[in-house]
Structure 1
Amino acid sequence: MAKRYLINICLLIAVLCGFSSCEEDAYYDPYEEITYDLCNYVWTDWFVVDGLDCEQQLTFNPDGKGWDTRIYHYPSGRIDREEIPFYWDWDNYYTDILYMDYEDGRTTLENVWISGRTFKCLYNGERVTFKAY
């Protein structure tokens, strides 16, 4: 009888522990976490435009402002730098779409995925991977 009582108590404790572990963390906010990751680094990618190597650096600030810095490397060694300000925001609390509003139009980053020091997305429909520096 005592053995059965102990088994029932152990099962009850196991069930109660299982229920308590399913609760959501009241302080966990995925929106805040991914925004922190986005704003904590300068995100860099390289591509070729008009035969020139171009380094693109995206800097996001928590206040919704940012900089798109493009550094063009010429074969002669000359370097041109262009800094373009923008405003950014997530799409209605969802963190898989990011809007970047430039003076001359909007850029949409879709399928946003940030993990560690890697930022992947569809940048105006083209798959791009930025690295954090």
Structure 2
Amino acid sequence: MALKYASLGVIEVDSRELELTQCKVNTNTGRKAVKTINRKGRVKGFAKGITEYMLSLSVAVPLDEEEPDWDNMEDARVTIEEQNGKRTSYTNCFTTTIGSSYTVDNELIRDIEVVACDKVVE
């Protein structure tokens, strides 16, 4: 019997569904190793840090409708819904980098880097 794996269903930005070609989510826990002088010469523990959530979105640019104002996106909510119904929302999002590229298939793709202040699993 074949195994079933989780797959991406829908991505929304402020309740507006997007047509994505790629989505990457990175979490940086901010933890740092605490190096002490000891006989074994190894790290003894870690210090807690500030967690950062970074999202990289590659969005297909629509011809018939206006795309969101990516340059001025602040305090937005990005929601990722998987096919199994699991929803994860990233809140208080703002854009840091916006770029454009063309693919081999002659498609215009908007590459957007987003930082989120919080993550909520619904």
TM-score, structure 2 as length reference:
0.28
Structure with bigger RCO (C-alpha 8 Å, 6+ apart): 2
Q: TM-score, normalised by structure 1?
A: 0.26
Specify the structure having the higher radius of gyration (Cα): 1
Structure number with the higher helix fraction is 1
